[in-house]
Amino acid sequence: MLILIKNDTPESAIRSLVIQLSRQGIGAARADSGGRVLLTLTGQTWTLDEQRLLALPYVEDVKRLTSPWRLANRRNHPEDTVVSVGNARIGRGFCLIAGPCAVESAIQMQAVARTVKAAGAQLLRGGAYKPRTSPYAFQGYGAGALELLAETGREMGLPVVSEITDASQLPQFAQVDMLQVGARNMQNYELLRALGGQPKPVLLKRAVGATVEELLQSAEYILAGGNPNVVLCERGIRSFSQTSRAALDISAIPVLKQMTHLPVIVDPSHAAGSSELVPPLALAAVAAGADGLLIEVHDRPAAALSDAAQSLSCTAFTELAKKLARVRKALEE
């Protein structure tokens, strides 16, 4: 990090800044920059708040040379991180995660789990706590749904993932293999901190209004808490376009793969908003280098209690899985 000091700053002010920084374990080398003092900082500069430095009356400018997402940064960890969830290895090969938006019944879970397993999915998803835009919409069946999800996963030999919306729910997730942080909670820092302090892997979705840098900062919360098992998920961002629920940011896939060592998966379902758009978006994501996909599937999409329009039928999912395999094969050639 560089700090440019304003002209005519008293020497005592510079000295007291350098002392203050050294108390925080930061070294500051002085140089002359066209008559002004330039401080080059070394040490744990990612812990410094640029805004606080800029607010000092004698600071002209502050420039960060390294990213504040130190642990998520590929520069500090060149090899890909592989996140193990049951027998699945996210980040090594390709991982298909599928299941209904919400866990609704044993019959639904059996039918969907059987289909997705046969089609090659490695993880079963299902929501129990649904953060819905309307308070009157179906909010999920809570703890009972988590039990049903875990039971179905055990029977089918599939690890399970479900969204957690509050740290107080953690005991209910004891049988859940992976914890999803939804787009709406990407910047719920209390929740991120709590998930950093527990051992289950985390599937972190990008918020509709977040930059990739903000997504990485959110991942950093979990990593800094001591949990290295974080998978990032691009699920569409808000744009001016009204023709799909969100705009799938395909470029975020290669960009994130460059910036971080964490696995990057894509959820085409929430970006699409309608089932016909899911297959082309899924195929595009795989071609762009995604480490996996998260897809909503329902045995009776028209009767789904949430996200009915974007849920693939069991037949459509099976068809899509075959096409995905063909695209993956073509990429390997």
Q: Which is nearer to Mn ion, 41 or 124 (CB)?
A: 124
Stretch that binds ligand PEP, among 37-45, 170-178, 181-189, 217-225 (CB under 6 A): 181-189
Q: How buried is residue 65: exposed, middle or buried, by Cβ count under 10 Å (0-12/13-18/19+)?
A: exposed
* Among Mn ion, ligand PEP, none, partner that 249 touches (CB below 5 to 8 angstroms by kind): none
To ligand PEP, the closest distance from the beta carbon of 262 in angstroms equals 17
Q: Quick check: 116 and 99 in contact, CB under 8 A?
A: yes
Q: How far is the CB of 128 from ligand PEP (least distance, A)?
A: 11
Question: Total binding residues for ligand PEP by CB under 6 A?
Answer: 9
Alpha helices, DSSP H only, in the chain?
11-23, 50-54, 106-118, 142-156, 189-196, 212-224, 252-259, 268-272, 278-287, 314-332
Residue with tokens 């949430």: 306
Match 């964490």 to its residue by tokens. Answer: 262
Closer to Mn ion by Cβ: residue 216 or 266: 266
Q: Which is nearer to Mn ion, 48 or 295 (CB)?
A: 295
Asked if 101 interacts with Mn ion (CB under 5 A), we say: yes
- Partner interacting with residue 235 (select from ligand PEP, Mn ion, none; CB below 5-8 Å by kind): ligand PEP
Q: Which does 104 bind (CB under 5 to 8 A by kind): ligand PEP, Mn ion, none?
A: none
Q: Are 117 and 88 in contact (CB under 8 A)?
A: no
- Our finding on whether 235 is near ligand PEP (CB under 6 A) is yes
Least gap, CB of 133 to ligand PEP (angstroms): 10
> Is the distance from CB of 245 to CB of 272 less than 8 angstroms?
yes
By CB under 5 A, tell whether 307 contacts Mn ion: yes
Q: Please identify, using beta-carbon distances, which residue of 48 and 222 lies nearer to ligand PEP.
A: 222
Q: Min. distance of Cβ 132 from ligand PEP in angstroms?
A: 8
Q: Which residues contact 29 (CB under 8 A, 6 or more apart)?
A: 39, 40, 42
Nearer to Mn ion, 91 or 126 (CB): 126
Nearest-approach distance from CB 131 to Mn ion, in angstroms: 10
- Percent of the chain that is helix, strand, coil (3-state, to 5): 40, 20, 40
- Cβ proximity to ligand PEP: between 267 and 299 the closer is 267
| Greatest CA separation for the chain | 76
Distance CA 105, CA 101 (A): 12
**Which residues of this chain interact with ligand PEP, rule CB under 6 A?**
101, 127, 182-184, 205, 235, 267, 270
